[in-house]
Amino acid sequence: MTHAAYPAARLRRTRMTAWSRDLHRETSLSPANLIWPLFPTEGHDEAVPVGTMPGVSRLSVDRLAKAAKEAAALGIPAVALFPHTLPERRSEDAKEALNPDNLICRAIRAIKDAAPEIGVLTDVALDLYTSHGHDGLLSDAGEILNDATVEMLVGQSLNQARAGCDIIAPSDMMDGRVAAIRAGLEADGFHNTQIMAYSAKYASAFYGPYRDAVGSGGVLKGDKKTYQMDPANAREALREVALDIAEGADSVMVKPGMPYLDIIRAIRDAFDVPVFAYQVSGEYAMLEAAIAAGVLDRNKGVLEALMSFRRAGCSGVLTYHAPLAARLMGA
């Protein structure tokens, strides 16, 4: 590729005015690129702050309905739900995941009643329901049982689809679960329910505040390295994505987000499929800590971080800063 040299080429020319910078901007960011994660909790008119995530609260179902209306007013197209399951409803076999009147199903119905135009994404994994905090069922020896877990995940997916969710998002990282869930949805008549697969979910240190929010941090036994990906691996992510696309995923996700922008770009370059990222709780908490310390401008920092996902190739981002970012973009 040949370029003119200075002084014929002065790249600052197009940066000299705001209108010119707008005209030459390569990447766009709008509220339509955001998904707002929310934490349902039991009770009425409850907003329980998550101590490790400043500005984020668990919300009772009635409050979730109001949040969904807020999302619609801000132009945010979808919310993602991660329920705080009470300890007494957790068990070794995660049976609460199959309860048609569990917290997540009640939250889905309330949101769809309040703001039917809002898309609802639901997490599919057993860590929200197991007493040991793992994403799958355990053998007596403590090994994750892949195939038995997949069978449970299909049931969990159908439970949530019947409640009215629009996107099933399996985050468990079990082998073969996308194909099994897709087959289950088709057999039950949910032909248009999407699957957004957590295809490249890493065994990351950035999940801690999230586990506090959903109540699984204190119960987790061991770690998740036998099923979540090694942070050192990039090529493996491409294999995971290829398998999930072949099994019927409509879109794929990378989690965490900013520490894995290279993975997002590699997937976007290799596959013609929508790629999403989850700006996870640890990323959010770090930004908030920098803001609180006075070393980062909140508005500029939040938007710049989100723009990095779009520049890397994301169609959209799950972010706890969604309402703030949407307001900033609408200002």
Give me the amino acid identity at 242. Answer: A
How many Cα atoms occupy the beta-carbon half-sphere of 42 within 13 Å?
Answer: 8
Is the four-CA dihedral 173, 178, 180, 184 of positive or negative sign? positive
User: Is residue 66 annotated as part of the catalytic site, yes or no?
Assistant: no
Cis peptide before 77 (omega within 30 of 0): no
Residues 6+ positions from 89 with CB-CB distance below 8 Å: 96, 102, 129
From the list 69, 95, 112, 255, the catalytic residue is 255
User: Is residue 255 annotated as part of the catalytic site, yes or no?
Assistant: yes
From the list 66, 69, 95, 201, the catalytic residue is 201
The rounded distance, in Å, linking the Cα atoms of 121 and 278 is 13
Asked whether the beta carbons of 306 and 326 are under 8 A apart, the reply is no
Burial category of 9 from C-beta neighbours within 10 Å (exposed 0-12, middle 13-18, buried 19 and up): exposed
Catalytic center residues: 201, 255
